[in-house]
Chain A
């Protein structure tokens, strides 16, 4: 059982470039989300989705775009990368009840550096 798979694990970008962080889960979870982790800041919610075709903003959505065309996939797009987006990104999923109870399943993280 693969769980939540994130790719790439590491990426270096130049300011202004665009890229997509991929997230896929094979647990048939309806709820998926993206967090970023920065030193001294904990994990902050970027965007989330409660099902295919439905997305919503989290705490720090600016500069990021998401879509949810299938239950399995929830890509995170950086349209024009900025150094402030240097961070470790985590994708997490759960059943709807898990989203409400806080029981999330996380990917291994993607470390992004923007020069």
Chain B
């Protein structure tokens, strides 16, 4: 079946540091890939997505590239801010049938000034 593996947290970085949160997946066919973010006290919200190999999703300075050869969708940001402190979830949706989202376990990110 489908599965998503995220790097374990928590991750603590200083402001303006470079961020990478690793995400790899197992799925049949060609899934769509997503990053969701959950800010403190709020629900999850879609951060970015990619629907086919080599696509790059981007939003709010975050980027992730769909790498089919390595089955990965790593989240990156060049210079993090305190306001990026949140929990980040990688997710996939298989494009076969009526599959639902499969989520990773989440990575808690804390940025210190």
| Residues of chain A at the chain B interface (Cβ within 8 Å) | 4, 33, 35, 37, 40-45, 48, 58-59, 90, 92, 99-109
Contacts and interface: CB of A to CB of B under 8 A. Distances in A.
Contacts of B20: none
A29 to B, nearest CB: 14
B32 A102 contact: yes
A101 B44 contact: no
Contacts of B34: 102
26 contacts: A4-B43, A37-B106, A40-B105, A41-B105, A42-B103, A43-B44, A43-B103, A44-B103, A45-B101, A90-B43, A92-B44, A100-B93, A100-B98, A101-B51, A101-B93, A102-B46, A102-B91, A102-B93, A102-B101, A103-B46, A105-B43, A105-B45, A107-B43, A108-B41, A108-B42, A108-B43
Contacts, number: 58
B100 interface: yes
A92 B38 CA distance: 13
Nearest to B33: A102
Interface string B83-107: 0000001010100001011111110
Interface in B5-58: 32, 34, 36, 38, 41-46, 49, 51
Interface size class of B (residues with CB under 8 A): 20 to 34
Contact of B4 (A42, A90, A106): A42
B104 A42 contact: yes
Given A43-B89, A48-B100, A108-B42, A103 B106 contact: no
Contacts of A101: 32, 49, 51, 93
B29 to A, nearest CB: 14
A33 B103 CA distance: 14
Nearest to B44: A106
B113 to A, nearest CB: 26
Nearest to A42: B103
Given A37-B106, A100-B93, 8 more contacts: A42-B102, A42-B104, A42-B105, A43-B44, A43-B89, A101-B49, A106-B44, A108-B42
